[in-house]
Structure 1
Amino acid sequence: MKCVEVLDSKGWQLFHSVPFLIYANDKQWISHLQGDVQDVFNPQKNPIASHGESRIFVLLDNQGKPIGRIAAFIDHEANSHLEYPIGGIGFFECIENNEAANLLFETAENWLREKGMQAVDGPVNFGGRDKYWGLLVKGFYPPLFQENYNPSYYASFFEANKYIAWEQILSIKGDLNDLDVSRLRAVCDRIRQSNEVVVELYDPKKKDKYAVDFCEIYNAAFGRFEHFKPAEPEKIKAILEESKLILDPLLLAICYINGQPAAFCATFPDINPLLKSARGKLSWWKIPGLIFRLKTAKKLFIKGTGFAIHPDFKTKGAFALIIEFMASPALSQKYQYYFLTTVRAHNREAVSLYFKAGKMQVDRVHIGYRKALQPNVEVVPNEFMEV
């Protein structure tokens, strides 16, 4: 067996072929879009790649056939704010063979050590923490869009290679019909009596304003958490532009109280069930068919960050107003289940807020692992929940 670096289109073909070997008999699996995965490592598509570096490897067996893959990467800008430099590994896939898995880890970790990294996180994304993040350990259902899915035996690979379960990542499932609006209705009415309240749906013509107001709420709500990266209006506008064919304005809204951005709801239709037949390749001529199926689908899941409340409005009823919006008949007629994804279990404030919305349950659990690459580094796990 040997690891080879992906350097050209042929290498990428080998890289993308590995999951089709691993999941050949798994009817639950849905391939990531291969173009999306490659864009993660393209500096023109991913700003983090422009100030970071990466190496991508494929493991070949003795007959030259691909049997595993792994990517290793470094975000130099993020490391400038950390106690010690941390690298990442992701997009890991491997046959059920300990020797093969060990060689993949060793190859990636050796490169990271050469670059001066003192620890490594995995499996994670070379980019936003809202996708391609964590190892699935509970809830082996068909994956949501850009959600990691893997065989259960992968956990033993990580743990045998001295990776420590460092953070617990939750996907929380709810039913729009179960949102507890009745007890919040009086709160909403009281707020409206003494304040000017507007819940504004996303309008592409007001994209610039939406992006600025979204960032104001997001940065204020999450800025105190570890690994926080400020949302920037230009990046939000780019996401909205890239998603314009699939986004539903009913799922994107900002609540204003007395003209100030107080809370947002940010979710998207989960298009993954519509992508299963694409097998990782969404050619341009397939897009009209995807859009048609999206518009005519009877019931799709909702997936997203969920909602956030500006700290200045936590005690002023903004939460009640957002829940009232999510429980609107227009939404429940088109959707039923929603998933609030990549929720960190140690962010107890967010977890508590989400569960106040109604009958919620932890549907899937991913684990983010961390491994010390130097003897002076101690890995201290975050707080986990019983699920």
Structure 2
Amino acid sequence: MITIQEVKTKKQQRQFVDFPLELYKDNPYFVPPLYGDEMGMFKAGFIYNETCDVINYLAYDGEKVVGRIQGIIQRASNEKNHEKRVRFNRFDAIDSREVASALFGAVEKWAVKKGMDTACGPLGFSDLEREGLLVEGFDQLSTFEEQYNAAYYGTLIESLGYEKEVDWLESKIYLPDNDDGSMKKMADFVMKRYNLHLGEAKNIDDFIRKYGDDFFGLIDKGYEHLYGTVPFTRAMKDEIIKSFKLIVDLKHVAIILDENNRAVCIGICFPSIARAVQKSRGKLTPAALVRLLRAIRHPKVIDLGLIAVEPSYLNRGISAVICSAVMDMLRDGGIEYAETNLNLETNSAILNQWKRFKEVRHKRRRAYVKRLVE
């Protein structure tokens, strides 16, 4: 018999975080999040406590954990979009409709009691978290920024009345076969025409000091109308800065300024640390730290993180500058390719950029929606 329990004890917190690690322990494509970050969700000072109501459930078959799910009421998102939505996230389970039904039923019941009328997901506390259910590309290594799931998850979720709301596409991009420098010429033309220049910094700390406010302002403005995004809080900004200092190399960061030194475009890539955290199951053991530092200093793959453009520059050829910068990164010795991570299938501006590269579209992710109250 399947029973559902709300996560309350320290033991249950560990079970909640450990379950996907056990479920996918022999899967070569699963990449765990950092274990400490996941356990941090249960701390009183968790950064999203000020904007979210959260509940976590575990499914048991006897004493054995067979599934988990998280429900999130993102109040800032609901207020921004004038909605009454609950997000589901961190859903993992064995291939059992009974288990999935019990887990989703618990979240839905909790949400309705809280006054919500719609469920959607997988979505996290913000778009800085892992989001979307993998529906294509099950034989591809996840990036560190993504969550892996088995193919049967989609079948389980759809059997419970959930339907597609949006899809994200992901690609591997390589230098084009005819890398003749034309993109660099086009980028130089755009920079000169609009009196643009690259922002300079000595290191990441200097970059944050000089451009931090512009960076967050541009991301907020550029991402405002995209699916699932929420405004940055001070705590979110501090968390991003902490992450940047850990893994970002200045050569994988670019900020473009206008003649008045106002930011018009920002692009940040991360060295891929997927393989580095796999063996330790997301725990930062001494051996894992060595692998992590090696991956950061000598990456073979880079993950495209955040790209944002001042809306008034979207039709001024700024994409050529972005592509040229990515091509420069790919020319760096040892880099094999870049992963785009999640691009909304409706975001033609960003998807068209990758046509300038040799592109292999290899994954698709989906956000689902279900009406709870008519």
Q: TM-score, normalised by structure 1?
A: 0.86
Judge conservation of contact 2:169–2:342 (CA < 8 Å) in 1: yes
Query: Which residue matches 1:118?
Result: 117
The Cα offsets for residues 313-341 of structure 1, whole Å up to 9 and x where unpaired, read as 33444332232222226853142211122
Judge conservation of contact 1:172–1:339 (CA < 8 Å) in 2: yes
Cα RMSD for the two superposed structures: 2.6
**In the TM superposition, what is the alpha-carbon distance from 1:58 to its structure 2 partner?**
1.1
Query: Which residue matches 1:274?
Result: 276
Aligned to 2:246, what secondary structure does the other structure show? coil
Q: Structure 1 residues 200 and 336, CA, compared in 2 at 3 Å: closer, same or farther?
A: farther
CA distance in 2, matches of 1:326, 1:344: 19
CA distance in 2, matches of 1:208, 1:257: 18
Aligned to 1:158, what secondary structure does the other structure show? helix
Judge conservation of contact 2:127–2:230 (CA < 8 Å) in 1: no
Which deviates more, 205-214 or 234-243?
234-243
Q: Structure 1 residues 151 and 327, CA, compared in 2 at 3 Å: closer, same or farther?
A: same
Q: 1:135 aligns with which of 127, 133, 136?
A: 133
- The answer to whether residue 321 in structure 2 is matched with residue 351 in structure 1 is no
User: Structure 1 regions of 5+ residues with no counterpart?
Assistant: 376-387
User: Structure 2 regions of 5+ residues with no counterpart?
Assistant: none
Q: Structure 1 residues 350 and 329, CA, compared in 2 at 3 Å: closer, same or farther?
A: closer
CA distance in 1, matches of 2:364, 2:329: 30
Query: Which residue matches 2:6?
Result: 5
CA distance in 2, matches of 1:27, 1:330: 25
Query: Which residue matches 2:45?
Result: 44
Amino acid at match of 2:134: L
Aligned to 1:294, what secondary structure does the other structure show? helix
**In the TM superposition, what is the alpha-carbon distance from 1:221 to its structure 2 partner?**
2.9
Query: Which residue matches 2:319?
Result: 319
Amino acid at match of 1:265: G
Query: Which residue matches 1:366?
Result: 365
- The answer to whether residue 5 in structure 2 is matched with residue 33 in structure 1 is no
Judge conservation of contact 2:58–2:67 (CA < 8 Å) in 1: yes
The Cα offsets for residues 68-99 of structure 1, whole Å up to 9 and x where unpaired, read as 11111111222123343000111111111221
Query: Which residue matches 1:256?
Result: 257
Query: Which residue matches 2:207?
Result: 206
Amino acid at match of 2:274: N
**In the TM superposition, what is the alpha-carbon distance from 1:41 to its structure 2 partner?**
5.1
Judge conservation of contact 2:303–2:341 (CA < 8 Å) in 1: yes
CA distance in 1, matches of 2:351, 2:310: 16
Query: Which residue matches 1:383?
Result: none
Aligned to 2:189, what secondary structure does the other structure show? helix
Query: Which residue matches 1:106?
Result: 105
Aligned to 1:350, what secondary structure does the other structure show? helix
Q: Structure 1 residues 260 and 366, CA, compared in 2 at 3 Å: closer, same or farther?
A: same
Judge conservation of contact 2:166–2:368 (CA < 8 Å) in 1: yes
CA distance in 2, matches of 1:135, 1:143: 12
Judge conservation of contact 1:135–1:150 (CA < 8 Å) in 2: yes
**In the TM superposition, what is the alpha-carbon distance from 1:120 to its structure 2 partner?**
0.7
Judge conservation of contact 1:211–1:234 (CA < 8 Å) in 2: no
Q: Structure 1 residues 307 and 360, CA, compared in 2 at 3 Å: closer, same or farther?
A: farther
1:146-295 aligned within 5 A: 146-176=145-175, 182-191=181-190, 196-200=195-199, 203=203, 204-231=205-232, 235-258=236-259, 259-283=261-285, 285-286=286-287, 288-295=289-296
Judge conservation of contact 1:6–1:58 (CA < 8 Å) in 2: yes
Query: Which residue matches 2:332?
Result: 332
Amino acid at match of 2:337: Y
**In the TM superposition, what is the alpha-carbon distance from 1:2 to its structure 2 partner?**
0.8
Query: Which residue matches 1:341?
Result: 341
Judge conservation of contact 1:191–1:316 (CA < 8 Å) in 2: yes
Percent identical among aligned pairs is 22
- The answer to whether residue 78 in structure 2 is matched with residue 79 in structure 1 is yes
CA distance in 2, matches of 1:189, 1:135: 39
Query: Which residue matches 1:59?
Result: 59
How many residues are paired up? 369
1:298-317 aligned within 5 A: 299-317=299-317
CA distance in 2, matches of 1:256, 1:157: 48
Judge conservation of contact 1:32–1:280 (CA < 8 Å) in 2: yes
Q: Structure 1 residues 319 and 257, CA, compared in 2 at 3 Å: closer, same or farther?
A: farther
CA distance in 2, matches of 1:189, 1:165: 41
Amino acid at match of 2:135: V
Judge conservation of contact 1:179–1:358 (CA < 8 Å) in 2: no
Which deviates more, 154-163 or 180-189?
180-189
Judge conservation of contact 1:253–1:265 (CA < 8 Å) in 2: yes
CA distance in 1, matches of 2:356, 2:363: 18
Judge conservation of contact 2:31–2:278 (CA < 8 Å) in 1: yes
**In the TM superposition, what is the alpha-carbon distance from 1:274 to its structure 2 partner?**
0.5
Q: Structure 1 residues 188 and 92, CA, compared in 2 at 3 Å: closer, same or farther?
A: closer
Q: Structure 1 residues 84 and 212, CA, compared in 2 at 3 Å: closer, same or farther?
A: closer
